[in-house]
Amino acid sequence: MSGTLPTAPERSPVTELASVNLADPIVHAEHDLAPMWERLRAREPVARHDHVPGQQGFWVVSRHADVMSVYRQPDFFGSTEGNVMDTLLHGGDSSSGRMLAVSDGEQHRGMRRTVQHGFSAEVLDQLGHSIRAATGKLLAQAVERGSCDFAKDVAAHIPIAAICELLGVPAADSAYIMGLSNSALGSDAPGQTQRDAQLAQSEILVYFAQHARKLRGSPGNDLVSMLTTSEVDGRPVPDDVIVFNCYSLVLGGDETTRLSMVGGLLALIEHPEQWQRFKNGDIQVDRLVEEVMRWTTPAIHVGRTALRDTVLGGRKIAEGDVVTLWNSSANVDEEVFTDPTAFDCSRWPNRHVSFGFGPHFCVGAQLGRLELEALFSAVRVEVSRAELSGSVGRFYSNFLSGISSLPIVLHR
């Protein structure tokens, strides 16, 4: 791949936690926090974020070992109050106990068993055929045109189509769901208000409430139909539980995979030696996918609430404290990854935490991997090289990180 055309713009580096507000989406889109994370991992791996006036303080966990410790201990660090800063710092999550991501204990286990049926090997095999066909068609069209915005013209359509098929959403509605998903957790530009995000979130909930009612009367072979006819602990799954979990699957399965796709292709453009090794077949596609997930880390943090007084990384954590786990830092921890700032598509083992860990490990992880493998397998066959052709746009969010716009030229 050529390096003669534009590269992604540099972001201003940050070294001190006290100089930024991690709850501000602009911080993550416009600043390079890598120097700060490196400093925190070495000197204060469990740090307080108390310096923003009018904002609740919280703990910042940056080291891989400490992040894994919290993931492993749901009895000490709970999810029911919320699992991201935006809910934890503003009164908790309204879907508590009714959505897989914000439930714990037996309630979580029962709900997870039910939802996992929708990700069986048979379902994923069937989805795989659709995903590979749709991905190949989208990429072929982009190559034929020669230039495209890879984020909007290719990557944006793959995960949302798969999620909509999984949930029994008509193909004609996928563009509508994609637009709502893009606004619910962030924005392609600075300035989106919390109310804008809440409106998008509400519209997703309304859509799936109507969708679930329709499928209760006429179920199909999709996950929502399965949920409408399933029982948890001997009782039918309530409508609100179905709706909230549809919401979670849409947001969790769409944005994160899309951002990984875009960030992964940009990484290959910026690392031509890795591209050539991949094209030559020296790198397996599954290992490329794992490195792309580590490198991009689309879900940059996860939140928990301390359920009792405890100690983490030598710091005393009080019951009720908000604890944020920074996957974006854990995934470049020098104690775990050799040369962590290198994009190495043959890296193995790859102990990234981009899908989480423990009881809350991402239920759709295998679907995400399948989508990424389909894309990069098609790229290896169809594209000889790719070049940036314009300015790269970044996604504005304090939860998701990545590229919102990637104008490129694709060569057959």
* H or E element that contains 147: strand 147-149
pLDDT score for 252: 86
Q: How confident is the model at residue 2 (pLDDT cuts 50, 70, 90)?
A: very low
CATH number of the CATH domain containing 149: 1.10.630.10
Q: How confident is the model at residue 7 (pLDDT cuts 50, 70, 90)?
A: low
**Average pLDDT in the 260-273 region?**
98
Q: Is residue 3 part of a domain?
A: no
**Average pLDDT in the 18-33 region?**
97
Closest CA to 32 of 361, 412, 360, 332: 332
The average confidence (pLDDT) of the chain is: 94
Q: How confident is the model at residue 401 (pLDDT cuts 50, 70, 90)?
A: very high
Q: How confident is the model at residue 140 (pLDDT cuts 50, 70, 90)?
A: very high
pLDDT score for 4: 47
Q: What is the pLDDT of residues 33-46, one digit of tens each?
A: 999 999 999 999 99
Inform me whether the pLDDT recorded for 234 exceeds 90.
no
Inform me whether the pLDDT recorded for 8 exceeds 90.
no
Inform me whether the pLDDT recorded for 232 exceeds 90.
no
Q: How confident is the model at residue 190 (pLDDT cuts 50, 70, 90)?
A: confident
Mark residue 186 as left, alpha or beta (left: phi above 0; alpha: psi -120 to 50; beta: remaining): left
Inform me whether the pLDDT recorded for 3 exceeds 50.
no
Query: Among 50-64, 122-136, 192-206, 355-369, which stretch is predicted with the lowest mean pLDDT?
Result: 192-206
Q: Is residue 112 part of a domain?
A: yes
Q: Is residue 104 part of a domain?
A: yes
Inform me whether the pLDDT recorded for 189 exceeds 80.
no
Q: Is residue 141 part of a domain?
A: yes
Report pTM: 0.94
Q: What is the pLDDT of residues 328-366, one digit of tens each?
A: 999 999 999 999 999 999 999 999 999 999 999 999 999
Q: Is residue 4 part of a domain?
A: no
CA distance 96 to 109: 15
* H or E element that contains 49: strand 46-49
pLDDT score for 6: 64
Peptide bond into 45 cis (omega under 30): no
* H or E element that contains 274: helix 272-279
Contacts of 186 (CB under 8 A, 6+ apart): 25, 192, 197, 255, 395, 396, 397, 399, 400
The residue among 92 and 197 whose pLDDT is bigger is: 92
Inform me whether the pLDDT recorded for 194 exceeds 80.
no
**Average pLDDT in the 94-109 region?**
94
Q: Is residue 7 part of a domain?
A: no
Q: Is residue 303 part of a domain?
A: yes
Q: What is the pLDDT of residues 288-326, one digit of tens each?
A: 999 999 999 999 999 999 999 999 999 999 999 999 999
pLDDT score for 184: 80
Helix (H, G, I), strand (E, B) or coil at 318: coil
Q: Which structural domain, as residue segments, surrounds residue 348?
A: 12-411
pLDDT score for 253: 87
**Dihedral sign, CA of 60, 63, 64, 65?**
negative
**Average pLDDT in the 18-22 region?**
98
Query: To the nearest whole percent, how much of the chain has pLDDT over 90?
Result: 87
CA distance 244 to 287: 33
pLDDT score for 188: 79
pLDDT score for 371: 98
Q: Is residue 1 part of a domain?
A: no
pLDDT score for 293: 98
Q: How confident is the model at residue 219 (pLDDT cuts 50, 70, 90)?
A: very high
∠ CA 235-237-239 to the nearest 5 degrees? Answer: 135
| Tokens matching residue 388 | 């940036």
Q: How confident is the model at residue 179 (pLDDT cuts 50, 70, 90)?
A: confident
Looking at the structure of the chain, the number of domains it has is 1
Matching residue, tokens 């934890």: 88
What is the CA 399 to chain-centroid distance, rounded? 9
Long-range CB contacts (within 8 A, 24+) of 230-234: 230/114, 230/117, 232/110, 232/111, 232/114, 233/110
**Average pLDDT in the 360-381 region?**
97
CA distance 325 to 61: 5
pLDDT score for 314: 96
CA distance 190 to 208: 28
